[in-house]
Amino acid sequence: MAWKGRFRPNNPKKYDGDPTNIIYRSRLELRYMQYLDGNSGVLKWSSEETIVPYYDPTKQRWRRYFPDFIVTTKAKTFMVEVKPHKQCQPPTGTMHQDGRKIRRLIREQVTWVNNQAKWEAAREYCADRKWDFILITEKDLGGW
């Protein structure tokens, strides 16, 4: 089941952007939005409002990366990417499998390489602004 929908914040003034057009693309993103909206320590937040250019090594061209969240607290601003834990680890497997498993492994490897390129660009973007870059997984959110 695909989890995608529109988030309606209880505290729309905290949202840095159009609070009527907040889209989540996973249960993890929805859960994190709920956390941000209800956390009194969060001064403002946005979702996919920032563009970070990065070089895609698989397509060999420049592309645009829209990080999941920018979060501002009294102490710091963070760029946050929410991903399943599996996508934050290098893919495992071998090419000595059936065709379907090989295709899945190749897809996972391409995703891993692209994510690494995006996250490196995000870290540089954040360093220039004295922000922190954070990856959050279901393990950080208590799972589902």
Pick the catalytic residue from 14, 29, 81, 118: 29
Q: What is the DSSP string of 41-87?
A: TEEEEEES---EEEEETTTTEEEEE--SEEEEESS-EEEEEE--GGG
Residue 104: CB atoms within 10 Å: 13
29 as an active site residue: the answer is yes
Q: Which one is catalytic: 14, 37, 81, 83?
A: 83
Catalytic annotation present for 68 = yes
C-alpha 49: how far from chain center: 12
Cα separation of 52 and 110, whole Å? Answer: 19
Q: Is 83 a catalytic residue?
A: yes
Active-site annotation, residues: 29, 68, 83
